[in-house]
Structure formats: structure tokens, C-alpha cells
Amino acid sequence: MNQQQVNFLKNEVVFHLKHLAPDAKGSWGKMNGQQMVEHMAEMLKVANGRIHHNALPDKEKMAKAYAWLMTDKPFRENTINPLLPEEPNPTEYNTMQQAIEAVQKEMDHFFEVFETTPGLKIENPIFGNLNFEEQVQLMYKHFQHHLKQFGLINS
């Protein structure tokens, strides 16, 4: 297990998000600050098992995506998620604070689910069935990508 990644998710993500304006524009992409925060809450819901999307049907692409996931390579700017609409979803929460609280709630649930069920694997629709360490790798890469997008961390 990569303890540095776990510590980043548990202790740094929400700290950085609190420094983001809801209408902030990223260096790339179409989402504003609050849309990105809400996007991350939704991705955490996939990682912690609260929501389920059907896996992409192409198992060869999934195997390639998984192989990439397990590298140190970051997400590229403007990476396309085939499960998301072309235009960002409208915001669900009335305030940025509520959106950040949703990220914290889903992050806490993520760690709780895996702590109470050792060996658990939860399906990710793009990368396949992932155990705790693999989910941490994905969440770490994904948060790094979006925090860099909005200038909240350096490369």
C-alpha cells in the first residue's frame, strides 16, 4: 500500500478544495470549480460502491486502461471519460461548501468500506474490479489531475 497516497487522500484533498472558487476556470476542460468538486464526489461514490455503472464492453481496452492505471503516468490534460456527457453536468449542490462536504463524506465512506471489508473489490467501469490499493491509486491520480487542472497543486 502506498501510504503517501492514502495520506494525500485523507489529509490534503479537502484542504486544497477549500481554496477553490465555485466559478474558477481550469487550465483545460469545461468544468468550473464546483462542477469539478461534484465530479470528484461522484467518482468517490463509484470507488466506495454507492453507485454502479456498467463496465465498458471492450475487455481489451479495460485491460490496457488497468495496465496504465498501475503506472506512475498521470492523466493527460483533456482526458475523455466515455461515461460522462460532452458538457459538464449542472451543479447539484447550492454551495461549494456543500459540494466539498460531499467529497469529505464520500472519502470517509471509501476508507470505512475497505477497512470493514478486507479483500473487497469494487468494480470501476473503465478499469475493472479494483481492490483497496488499486482504488487508492486511481483516486490519487484522479485528484492530482483535477487539482493541477485548477492550479491548486503543482506538477
Q: Would you state the pLDDT for residue 99?
A: 98
Q: What is the mean pLDDT of residues 108-120?
A: 97
Helix axes 132-149, 33-47, angle to 10 degrees: 180
Rg of the chain in Å (alpha carbons): 15
Q: Would you state the pLDDT for residue 56?
A: 78
Average pLDDT score over the chain: 95
Q: pLDDT category, 101, cuts 50, 70, 90?
A: very high
Cα 141–chain centre separation? 8
Residue 32 has pLDDT above 70, yes or no: yes
Give yes or no for a contact between 146 and 36, defined as CB atoms under 8 angstroms apart.
yes
Q: What is the pLDDT of residues 47-81, one digit of tens each?
A: 999 999 888 778 899 999 999 999 999 999 998 88
The Cβ of residue 114 has, within 10 Å, a number of other Cβ atoms equal to 21
Q: What is the mean pLDDT of residues 85-102?
A: 95
pTM: 0.94
Give yes or no for a contact between 140 and 5, defined as CB atoms under 8 angstroms apart.
yes
